[in-house]
Amino acid sequence: MTSPQPVALVTGASSGIGAATARRLAAAGYLVYGAARRAERLEELRGDGVVPLVLDLLDEGSLTTAVKQIREDTGRLDVLVNNAGYGSFGAVEDVPLEEARRQFEVNLFGLARLVQLSLPMMRSHGTGTIINVSSVAGKVAGPLGGWYHATKFALEGFSDSLRQEVAPFGVRVVVVQPGAIKTEWGAHALDSARRASGDGDYAHRVEGLARGILNPAGVQRRASGPEVIARVIERAATSSRPRTRYALGHLAWVGLFGRRMLSDKLLDQVTGRIMG
């Protein structure tokens, strides 16, 4: 039996952008599955009409089971919001390749597998929207974020190809590029940078990062709330003709404008100042 309600799956729904998006889509009339690795962090979403769904992007069995549950429960999937991901920072020289590979597995390959599993339901109904949460960091790179930037640059290209492939089936692909957002992401990124490079030859760059883009009293204090991104995700999900990209949040347009207008060397200087 096919659900009369439109159905959405939101990954990374335990906090930040994912939690705000899950709540917003539920309020807009969607049957929302809010997915994350830790079940206990999803329970508070029940009161907002969100169905908690345990999902681990590193586990093929978890991915297939989650999509199978949605298919059996509802018979449809109208919106997939790929929001889950993390930023592991540190100098390229210092970050173990094992950690670099893990970041790709979470930020790109796990996401891509979820897309593969979800597309048959969307194609069978001739409609659907896949929303990939990238970052301004998918267009503008800075020091100590090489592996994180690599995953987001890759996600941008992946999304462009996917958009062209699935358009004939009525499926839309949208990229959302947040700037600085008030979530747990910044603290985790800074912790990882300190673990990888805080005591070595790049320690001065790590402390510059702490004073610059990841400074709680500076850029992060002025960062936009996750609801800003949740609103635009809802707009993209409910539109019959969404834009291919939405960039918003503190410093988003500044970064993208700089990427278009400045030479690499000049942008390096500007980014270096912003990042300390």
Rg (the chain; Cα; Å) = 19
Q: Could you tell me if residue 68 is inside a domain?
A: yes
Q: Could you tell me if residue 256 is inside a domain?
A: yes
What is the C-alpha to C-alpha distance for residues 77 and 116, in angstroms, rounded to an integer? 13
Q: Given pLDDT bands bounded at 50, 70 and 90, which one contains residue 219? A: low
User: Which of 27-36, 110-119, 139-148, 258-267 is the least confident region?
Assistant: 258-267
Reduced to 3 states (helix: H, G, I; strand: E, B; else coil), residue 23 is helix
Q: Which helix (H) or strand (E) holds 33?
A: strand 31-36
Single out the catalytic residue among 30, 33, 148, 202. Answer: 148
Angle (CA) 108-111-117 rounded to 5° is: 140
Q: How is residue 144 written in tokens? A: 């100590």
Q: Could you tell me if residue 2 is inside a domain?
A: no
Q: How many CA atoms lie less than 13 Å away from 243 in the CB half-sphere?
A: 10
Q: Could you tell me if residue 172 is inside a domain?
A: yes
User: Which of 8-12, 19-23, 155-159, 181-185 is the least confident region?
Assistant: 181-185
Q: What pLDDT score does 217 carry?
A: 54
C-alpha distances in Å from residue 58, one per residue of 61, 74, 82, 220: 9, 25, 14, 29
What is the C-alpha to C-alpha distance for residues 41 and 13, in angstroms, rounded to an integer? 9
148 catalytic residue (yes or no)? yes
76-97: per-residue pLDDT in tens?
A: 999 999 999 999 999 999 999 9
- In 217-233, which positions are buried (b, 16+ CB within 10 angstroms) versus exposed (e)? ebbbeebbebebbbebb
Q: Could you tell me if residue 127 is inside a domain?
A: yes
Q: What pLDDT score does 247 carry?
A: 87
CATH number at 104 reads: 3.40.50.720
Q: How is residue 214 written in tokens? A: 């990841």
What is the C-alpha to C-alpha distance for residues 111 and 104, in angstroms, rounded to an integer? 10
**How many domains are contained in the chain?**
1
Q: Could you tell me if residue 1 is inside a domain?
A: no
CB 78 within 8 A of CB 127: yes
Domain holding 257, by residue range, is 7-274
